[in-house]
Structure 1
């Protein structure tokens, strides 16, 4: 795989509350993805450096975008976050590699700036205990 920028190489879809994938990448202005692993310090008193074990895997995502109330676009996808408790598949493909974790979105924040922009942010965390794996 070659090095790549984030320009033009990304596809992104999010399931709506009914489980239908919606391609909302045109509404998303930026996103952040994290796939951390827990660690346990197991350093014995006989060591001069840390020893650690890898623990559980996790995933979190924050999507940010421009408000779009058109059918099957970002507002349709996220408007049910406050009223439903469903996991949603977030499928991110960058330069031909894909990650598709099940995410519980915890908020759908709307912001109207003093200059008039209407934007949103939607943070979420891993839902189902499946290790996030790039394919």
Structure 2
């Protein structure tokens, strides 16, 4: 399906909790849980578009999908819930999609 994706954005944020006491002049924080989010963008083409077969069930199913990103030989694999399958038709006729996903299984995102 990677040939159907034209660009993507992903993040691996950590939550933080402020724990600053009244005796401090600067912030103190603890790192909390890790997370992962991704938005995949692509061009719709139902003649050859494998991504449409994957994402068309987003509104009607609740399944996690394995999402693997490979950058310069480094791999980041996460189980994701995709939350929407919006299609946009531009005034030039292009039909595109942007599918957001979030971490589903509580596994800390780790590059390998």
**What band does the TM-score fall into relative to the shorter chain?**
over 0.9
Q: Which runs of 5+ in 1 are unaligned?
A: 1-23
Shift of 1:82: 0.6
Shift of 1:97: 0.3
Work out which of the residue numbers 12, 15, 20 in structure 2 matches 1:35: 12
Moved runs in structure 1, 4+ residues, more than 2 A?
A: none
Work out which of the residue numbers 54, 57, 61 in structure 1 matches 2:38: 61
Deviation string, structure 1 residues 56-104 (Cα, Å, up to 9, x no partner): 1111000000113246711011011111100001000000000011000
- TM (norm. structure 2) is 0.96
Contact 1:106 1:124 in 2 (8 A): yes
Shift of 1:27: 1.0
What is residue 83 of structure 1 aligned with on the other side?
A: 60
What is residue 119 of structure 1 aligned with on the other side?
A: 96
Q: State how far apart, in whole Å, the 2-side matches of 1:132 and 1:85 are.
A: 21
- Helix, strand or coil at the partner of 1:129: coil
Q: State how far apart, in whole Å, the 1-side matches of 2:75 and 2:47 are.
A: 27
- TM (norm. structure 1) is 0.80
Q: Which runs of 5+ in 2 are unaligned?
A: none
What count of residue pairs does the alignment treat as equivalent?
112
Q: Does 1:101 align with 2:101?
A: no
Q: State how far apart, in whole Å, the 1-side matches of 2:21 and 2:108 are.
A: 29
Higher helix proportion = 2
The alignment's C-alpha RMSD in Å is: 1.1
